[in-house]
Amino acid sequence: MSADFAALHGRFDPSDMLGRLTGFPAQMEAAWKIGAEFAPQAAELRSKTFDRVVICGMGGSAIGSDFARSFLGERSRLPVFSCRDYHLPANLAKGALVIASSYSGNTGETLSAYDGARTHGATVVAITGGGGLAERCARDRVPVCRIPGGMPPRAAIGYSLLPMLHVLRAAGVADFDDREYHEALEVARERCAAYDLKARSNAAMELAEGLHQKTAFVYAAPALLEGVARRWSCQLNENAKTLAHFAFFPELNHNEIVGWEVGDLMSRTVIVSLEDREDHPMTRRQMEVGLSLMAPHAARVERLETPGGGRLARMLAMMLLGDFTSVYLAYLNNVDPTPVKKIDALKKQLAGE
């Protein structure tokens, strides 16, 4: 590696986003405890009747729902949907368990969806750090799982994910063994140590150098890594302040693959293929053929396979590689990974300030 990442960290990371990443295992432990303590309240939801789950959230708060859905997979007794919008359709809300997830508690889209869920008679529970969502829950006597605030939502993925898993299990939607969490916690500890500044052989630093001055197209299969691919793209956007794109096999072989024929973007694009042993055999075959057809046009193809272990451990291991890569790429881009100035400006304009 040619870059002095320790020096770059000192120059471009005054808020220590990297420290938030290395502290992720501690966040997991705190989030798991919060979820366990809230579980008895969530268990009261079993007395309600619902035939689907709808999780309403945006940005970093919504990623937890993607991870929960992918982790549970076919173990979920009910279909789980995501709502990333102001409008929660009546035909989706009626008869549903709606989980409103907003880290700040002030996400306009989630507050609107919460109101819609209440209007349509859905069973509602919230996961939030406070704000307007907590106030609505107190007013409406809706159960609310309170999580600590004060962080960028994208840095609070543990608080968005693990209490949600407790809610879904306690409500009777799905079941999983606590050993899966403990295994994932150990894997997170190992990965955070492996990607830390002091690690001698650091895959995240190497990948960041390979992505520098390039555009990442992050591909995966939807079985386990759908949310992780989205997370990679969003972390590159918000931390590294660079454009990124995500899409999924086999769907992209029915359309996007043809786009790899004309234009000069391709020569500056790195395909990052996230792969897992549970990917469907035919999807894996689609990956092999699709990548072989796109590779000659790309700057490079990075094929990354999840390590061994259970579903949660594999998801978080691949997530952490992307998280650390995005911060190291921010350093190479000479930017602070923490501020999101355009999002702040957008919110001010929407608020009429």
As annotated, the active-site residues are 238, 254, 347
d(CA 140, CA 114): 11
Q: How many residues appear in the chain?
A: 353
d(CA 14, CA 16): 5
d(CA 321, CA 273): 13
Task: Report residue 141 as tokens.
Answer: 């006597």
> Are 294 and 286 a contacting pair, CB within 8 Å?
no
* E strand spans, the chain: 52-56, 80-83, 96-102, 123-128, 144-146, 215-220, 244-248, 269-275, 300-305
How many CB atoms lie under 10 A from the CB of residue 85? 14
3-state helix, strand, coil in the chain (%, to 5): 55, 15, 30
d(CA 34, CA 43): 15
Any idea which residue has 């809300």 for tokens? 93
> Are 220 and 249 a contacting pair, CB within 8 Å?
yes
